């Protein structure tokens, strides 16, 4: 097992944990929930990969992940986010990253996105209510773009579009630059 890399994640509906475990399997390293980690544990690694869901325009758990990384002696931080937004919506995804990362951090921390899906049954009441409001806003919108139409359809019910193939860019990056 490669002890120089650690994949940490924050997962609510299970998609991010699934991606974290796939990444760890491909890189032959450990995957762990961020709530079980400390800066000391990260200090034993050279590279930490953190994943969280895009939630209300931010990466869930990223603030804590950056704090742990900065307190550790770890050298590299790589980020990934999961969400319902289609992988093809690059501009929307990059704007979401800008909500959490400064311009310097955007260039400093490699970041990746992996489409997953929605699991209403695993969301909190507040998250379900927020999604229903968002779905209602999209439904009432006039002059819908293709993206709006796709979002309206996607928000209707739970679904899973996660795929192991979506980890390839991150795994390739680590393999080429870190290992």
Q: What is the pLDDT of residues 131-146, one digit of tens each?
A: 888 888 888 888 888 8
pLDDT tens per residue, range 53-80: 998 788 999 999 999 999 999 999 999 9
pTM (predicted TM-score)? 0.87
Rg (CA), the chain: 17
CA 7 to chain CA centroid, nearest Å: 12
6 three-state secondary structure: strand
Q: What pLDDT score does 138 carry?
A: 82
DSSP state of 55: E
CB atoms within 10 A of CB 179: 12
Instruction: Kindly write down the DSSP assignment for every residue of 98-150, as one continuous string.
Output: HHHS-HHHHHHS-EEEEE-EE-GGGS-HHHHHHHHHHHHHHHH-SS--HHHHH
Q: What is the largest CA-CA distance in the chain?
A: 54
Closest to 113 in 3D by CA, of 94, 139, 138, 137: 94
């Amino acid at each position: 097992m490669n002890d120089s890399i650690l994949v940490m994640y924050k997962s609510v509906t299970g998609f991010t944990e699934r991606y974290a475990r796939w990444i760890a399997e491909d890189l032959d390293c450990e995957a762990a929930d961020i709530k079980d980690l400390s800066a000391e544990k990260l200090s034993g690694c050279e590279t930490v990969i953190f994943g969280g869901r895009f939630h209300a325009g931010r990466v869930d758990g990223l603030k804590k992940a950056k704090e742990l990384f900065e307190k550790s002696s770890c050298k590299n931080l790589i980020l990934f986010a999961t969400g319902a937004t289609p992988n093809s919506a690059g501009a929307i995804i990059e704007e979401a990253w800008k909500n959490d990362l400064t311009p310097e951090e955007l260039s400093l921390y490699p970041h990746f996105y992996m489409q997953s899906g929605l699991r209403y049954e695993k969301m909190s009441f507040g998250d379900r209510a927020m999604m229903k409001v968002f779905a209602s806003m999209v439904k009432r919108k006039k002059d819908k773009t293709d993206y709006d139409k796709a979002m309206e359809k996607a928000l209707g019910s739970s679904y899973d579009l996660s795929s192991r193939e979506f980890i390839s860019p991150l795994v390739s990056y680590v393999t080429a630059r870190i290992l």
